[in-house]
Amino acid sequence: MKISKSKKSGWILVMIGLVAQPAPAANPSRFAQMEPLPLGAARWTSGFWADRFELCRAQMIPSMERLMEGTNDTQFFRNFEIAAGQAAGRSRGASFNDGDFYKWMEGATASLAIEKNSALEARLDEIIAVIARAQRADGYLHTPVQIKQRAGDTNAVPFGDRNNFEMYNLGHLMTTAAVHHQVTGKTNLLVVAQRAAGFLETTFSNAPANARSSVCPSHLMGLVDLYRETQDPRYLELAQTVLRLRGEIKDGVSDNQDRIPLAKQREAEGHAVRANYLYAGAADLFLETGDTNLWRPLAQIWTNVVTEKMYITGGCGALYDGAAPDAARDQKNITRVHQAYGRNFQLPNITAHNETCANIGNALWNWRMFLATGAAKYMDVVELELYNAILSGMALDGTNFFYTNPLRVTDPLPVALRWSRQRVPFVSSFCCPPNLVRTIAESADYAYAKSGDQIWVNLFGASRLVTKLSNGETVQLAQETEYPWSGRVRIRIIACGEKEFALRLRIPGWAAGATVRVNRRPAENAAPENYFEIRRTWAPGDVVDLDLPMPVRLMEANPLVEETLNQLAVQRGPVVYCLESTDLPAGVRVSDVRIPADLQLAARYDGRLLGGIVVLEGQAEAGSGENWQGKLYREVQPAALKPVPVKLIPYSVWQNRGPSEMSVWLPRAK
């Protein structure tokens, strides 16, 4: 399989003129096995992720800025202007709009670590000045409440509504401030975040009942980010305090994961975004404190998610609405849950919720679990999310988005569903699009990590890395690869010192039969698995070749997943595929297609289709479509099957060619 050269920008040209200096060192977490690299230390140079970063930088960031500064659909920045007294009007939009605007700011700032943009940096400074003016003298900052206060509403008070997302918004403010300080060196937003943290510190010391207000707890990650950036122990102590107080709530609900303390939880339940943010924040606290009372539930909940509650795409949060704890004897403890993890093995396809933010939250959580352990299984989940359940949330134009990510779409749908099965520029809950912006802008940061004198290669993509190891050596290396379409990866040592160090290459769990060569000779160690270590004294020009076989794999689900019983899905490498009606002959519907267990699919790169993808082509079987209207059951009728050509595309790019039917899972032919 040959991939078109037209999509490539030569990595060698990118390397010319680079300053061979590592980015400033991040403050390492005390109990982390891995050290993440600071923003800008790694960057994509060509290919799959470079294309998406460029889309984010050139299209997503400016177009979303225009939307968020406007007032057509809702208000984001205008709410800050009103709260600052610089504009008239009322607060409009969801109570979490402040936090979603901070997410856009984080993504815009992260892009500056890769490519300087003086106009964007100046605009961020202008925005920060307005945010600072909107902040109250005591540090409180939440525009829905503040605008009502300015209008004389005496009932508008901080934490007056436990579901008002104040802590969520402030958490994203703190994370964004830490990123802004790291990238620009400026303290203008950091000061705002520190004042907000000071307000929380006072509030929680005087009114611990406000822990009830920690809906969608991004503040745990935010406070730890603020601690790492400033090294002020008050922020770490505050994060520990709010998590402890959360466990003391007497009237908590599963929807917010506070029905029982985290230390007693063993399964994922409730709102999937809130759950994954909580788990990521608790993992951050473990990285800083080593508290085993945090690690034990996290490890058990993780196993529950990946073995009983996660879609094959990495999607999380199967249900629009449900109830928990499921079938409880004590009826008064049953609570409504929304956008939620369902029962074990309850993974519907047509009605799958799989909010993009939940999938991003799962990647955030697994990244932290990896930092704590160095275990490849966590990076396997991060990779699965990035290539499938996360990228499916956006169109290839960078301006249209999904809120939910189903695994099957029929026409007509069996029920009326709230969220569109076509990507749209705006949804009333606009949390996912800016989350995608920051995730793509920071995607290169997941590609590498280090520990001592070891460089860990986590994700594959044409990229370059400049970092300094514990032995004092500065190392520059570059990846050349057409991954995920090809499993061949070459790593070149561009510059290094004379001291020995190790490269550790992640061998994905799906990659049976991987091989490694050093300077074109087979590596001396045993067969590679997990993270494969190559330790030696390197020299500029040394080359490591990793070959990850990428056969097409037909997948089946645990039979307890009722909705996929006797059905098959298709994967190649990290990419999950689907069948879209656009690619079927006239008169054949997706629901008519059957695939045999010995289906042979050929991989072919098509540079003209959907931005350049590998398609899988073969011959399946199709029955004649039957009219089931008005019928729930009938006697079985022998199926008259005929050969039909099929072309499968990556799940992440479905619905980029207009309305269509689609399915990841297809019935197995007998």
- Tens of pLDDT, residues 492-547: 999 999 999 999 999 999 999 999 999 999 987 655 678 999 999 999 999 999 99
Examine the pLDDT at 345 and tell me if it is beyond 60. yes
Reference 100, options 52, 58, 65; nearest CA is 65
pLDDT range class, residue 6, cuts 50, 70, 90 = very low
- What would the mean pLDDT of 107-122 be, rounded to a whole number? 97
CATH 2.60.420 spans which residues of the chain? 448-547
Q: What are the C-alpha distances in Å from 334 to residues 254, 274, 317, 402, 572?
A: 8, 18, 18, 30, 41
Burial class (CB in 10 A: 0-12, 13-18, 19+), 519: exposed
Distance CA 207, CA 241 (A): 12
Q: Which pLDDT belongs to residue 214? A: 82
C-alpha 61, offset from chain centre: 17
Retrieve residue 112's tokens: 């500056």
pLDDT tens per residue across span 295-318? 999 999 999 999 999 999 999 999
Task: Give the three-class secondary structure for 570.
Answer: strand
Q: How many residues does the chain have?
A: 670
Task: Give the three-class secondary structure for 586.
Answer: coil
Q: Which pLDDT belongs to residue 315? A: 97
Distance CA 549, CA 517 (A): 14
- What would the mean pLDDT of 355-363 be, rounded to a whole number? 97
> Which amino acid does the sequence have at 590?
V
- What would the mean pLDDT of 588-603 be, rounded to a whole number? 94
- What would the mean pLDDT of 6-18 be, rounded to a whole number? 35
The least confident of 60-69, 126-135, 638-647 is: 638-647
The least confident of 94-108, 400-414, 523-537 is: 523-537
Retrieve residue 2's tokens: 């040959």
Q: Which pLDDT belongs to residue 484? A: 98
Answer whether 351's CB lies under 8 Å from 320's CB. yes
Reference 55, options 611, 464, 478, 480; nearest CA is 611
Q: Give just the sign of the alpha carbon dihedral 190, 196, 197, 199.
A: positive
Q: Which pLDDT belongs to residue 528? A: 64
Examine the pLDDT at 670 and tell me if it is beyond 80. no
**Between 339 and 499, the higher pLDDT residue:** 499
Q: Give just the sign of the alpha carbon dihedral 587, 591, 596, 600.
A: positive
pLDDT range class, residue 15, cuts 50, 70, 90 = very low
Distance CA 339, CA 354 (A): 8
DSSP-assigned letter for residue 485: T
Reference 257, options 222, 212, 223, 299; nearest CA is 212
Distance CA 212, CA 223 (A): 17
Burial class (CB in 10 A: 0-12, 13-18, 19+), 8: middle
Examine the pLDDT at 83 and tell me if it is beyond 70. yes
Could you give the dihedral angle defined by the CA atoms of residues 327, 329, 331 and 334, in that order, rounded to the nearest 10 degrees?
-40
- What would the mean pLDDT of 107-127 be, rounded to a whole number? 97
Q: Give just the sign of the alpha carbon dihedral 369, 370, 372, 374.
A: positive
pLDDT tens per residue across span 190-231? 999 999 999 999 998 877 777 777 888 999 999 999 999 999
Q: What are the C-alpha distances in Å from 393 to residues 79, 101, 338, 360?
A: 26, 18, 19, 10
Kindly report the three-state secondary structure assignment for every residue of 399-435: CCECCCCCCEECCCCCCCCCCCCCCECCCCCCCHHHH
The whole-chain average pLDDT of the chain stands at 92
Distance CA 242, CA 238 (A): 6
Strands 474-481 and 463-468: antiparallel
Distance CA 213, CA 468 (A): 42
Cis previous bond, 412, omega within 30: yes
Q: Provide the H-helix boundaries in 135-187.
A: 143-150, 166-184
Retrieve residue 453's tokens: 């004198």
Examine the pLDDT at 116 and tell me if it is beyond 80. yes
C-alpha 69, offset from chain centre: 25
Give residues with Cβ within 8 angstroms of 286, minimum separation 6: 31, 294, 295, 298, 372
Longest dimension (CA), the chain: 77
Q: What is the pTM for the complete model shown? A: 0.94
Strands 515-518 and 521-522: antiparallel
Distance CA 86, CA 128 (A): 14
Side-chain-side CA neighbours of residue 467 (13 Å): 33
Examine the pLDDT at 388 and tell me if it is beyond 80. yes
pLDDT range class, residue 24, cuts 50, 70, 90 = low
* Candidate CATH numbers 2.60.40, 1.10.3470, 3.30.450, 2.60.420; the one for domain 448-547: 2.60.420
Q: Which pLDDT belongs to residue 635? A: 87
Q: Which pLDDT belongs to residue 20? A: 42
Examine the pLDDT at 22 and tell me if it is beyond 90. no
Percent of the chain with pLDDT over 90: 79
